[in-house]
Structure 1
Amino acid sequence: MAAPRSPAARPRRSIETVVQDKDLVVRRHDEIFRAASRIFISRGYHAATVREIAQEAGLSLGGLYSYIRTKEDILYLVFDKLTTSLREAMRRAIEGIDDPVEQIRAALRADLKTTEQYQDEILLMYQETKSLGQPSRRAVLGREADYVKCFEDILRAGHARGVFRGDPQLSADVIAYLCSILALRRWNLRHRFSSDGVQEGLIEFILRGLGAVREGPR
């Protein structure tokens, strides 16, 4: 049986730019994403200024405004890059894998590695999504739903083959939240467990919950 096909991602909310060179816009947006993440995380979204982000990105204030129009655009850009990275890491991880248990294991491992890389941004997303206007918030939540759907599609395929138990939609939401505890509970976890230990423990915990790991005799 072929691996579930990744669902088409929802359209992004467009960010109006003066620059027409698409490759340059992608590069600058990546630089702005990195700079803004550092500033928002250290200063907080509301205290941070666009001028500080421009300086951190190595751009003049006018240069920055060639690639974004508002401070909200920058926050949206950070969240869009984050959800895209999570989704694409999972998509790449399951390519060529047919067994649903191995698919979910590979997807979880890729997701947890990406979550570890973007811990600060994930925490920021949980804290500051409310700061976005409704169109931006709707777009971010839609992209996050696409990410959760990657888990759901694997679970549905496995459920149809009798491999997984439970409701695929609910299980996918729970799994997405469990993966995020690397960021949300790191203050406690980092003093008690290694990063690899947390990740492998979560994977086994989730697989057991799905009924994919059979308990041996006690």
Structure 2
Amino acid sequence: MTAAADNAEAELRAFRRETGASLNAICREIFAAHGGTDIRVRNERIAVRNLGRIIEATLAIANRKGFAAMSLRDLAKRTGLSLGGLYAYIRSKDDLVAMIQTFGGRQTERVIRERLGGVTEPERRLAVAIRTHLYLSEVMRPWFFFLYMEARHLAPSERRQAVAMEQATERLFADLIAEGQAEGRFRAIDPLVAAGLLKALLQDWYLKHRKHVRRGLDVTVYAAQVIDLIERYLEPQR
């Protein structure tokens, strides 16, 4: 491993530690919201561990053969749980998708907003949001890939939720761009258009990850290049 790769790994470890971004954290949040009701397992440690197994297995199977083709029997086999054991956590595949969407989206928005706390300069705020989103998508890459690739195959209600989450992220970036425009730091352009262009660059990291790895890029380098590109694009015309 090169020194640059070592530095990237160290930066990602620090990011995980500082933000608490992890599958385990999401599973604890799911248990806090649904323990004792939809989730019928009372022991938090066991419930969080098994939720992690269920979600990891879902992402692995879905990314290999598609969520629509996955059965609960496939999931039971992959996790080592019985069908009855699965039903102690989820009632259906729809429940499972709702968990993955809702709590993954919450973690993304929470971490970005927390990282923006105390940052006031518009350029710096946008850079922090970009870097945070990319680091999250690296730490939780199977999750991000699943949400993007499977959205079009979901039931209408879940599909609408996925679209709403996508729009919420774009709105966050659009608001940051609009803030910079209000201070005269970014040029006049439709903030939503600019945010959409930015979102495409962010998605390219986890949707075409192998392409970037073949080019020798890690997420820290890619983040720096995206930030530089967007800052040049938004630079006011003198």
Q: Same fold (TM over 0.5)?
A: yes
Is residue 2:199 matched to residue 1:176?
A: yes
Spell out, residue by residue over 1:145-195, the C-alpha distance to the aligned partner (whole angstroms, 9 max, x if none): 222222122112111111112211221222122111101222322111321
Which amino acid in structure 2 is aligned with residue 132 of structure 1? L
Structure 1 distance, partners of 2:124, 2:47, is 34
Gaps of 5+ in 2: 1-32
Q: Could you tell me which of 173, 196, 202 is aligned with 2:226?
A: 202
Spell out, residue by residue over 1:21-72, the C-alpha distance to the aligned partner (whole angstroms, 9 max, x if none): 6968983544432221122123322332212323444532112112222223
Structure 1 distance, partners of 2:149, 2:202, is 17
Gaps of 5+ in 1: 1-13
Is residue 2:131 matched to residue 1:103?
A: no
Spell out, residue by residue over 1:118-143, the C-alpha distance to the aligned partner (whole angstroms, 9 max, x if none): 33333333322122111111122212
Which amino acid in structure 2 is aligned with residue 121 of structure 1? W
Aligned runs of 1:127-206 on 2, under 5 Å?
Answer: 127-165=149-187, 166-195=189-218, 196-206=220-230
Q: Relative to structure 1, is the Cα distance of residues 149 and 69 closer, same or farther in structure 2, using a 3 angstrom cutoff? A: same
Which amino acid in structure 1 is aligned with residue 234 of structure 2? L
Looking at both structures, which has the greater relative contact order when contacts are Cα pairs under 8 Å and sequence separation is at least 6?
A: 1
| % identical aligned pairs | 25
Q: Could you tell me which of 131, 137, 147 is aligned with 1:125?
A: 147
| Aligned 8 A contact 1:90 1:150 in 2 | no
CA RMSD of aligned residues (A): 2.8
Structure 2 distance, partners of 1:141, 1:177, is 15
Count of aligned positions: 201
Which amino acid in structure 1 is aligned with residue 229 of structure 2? F
Structure 1 distance, partners of 2:111, 2:71, is 31
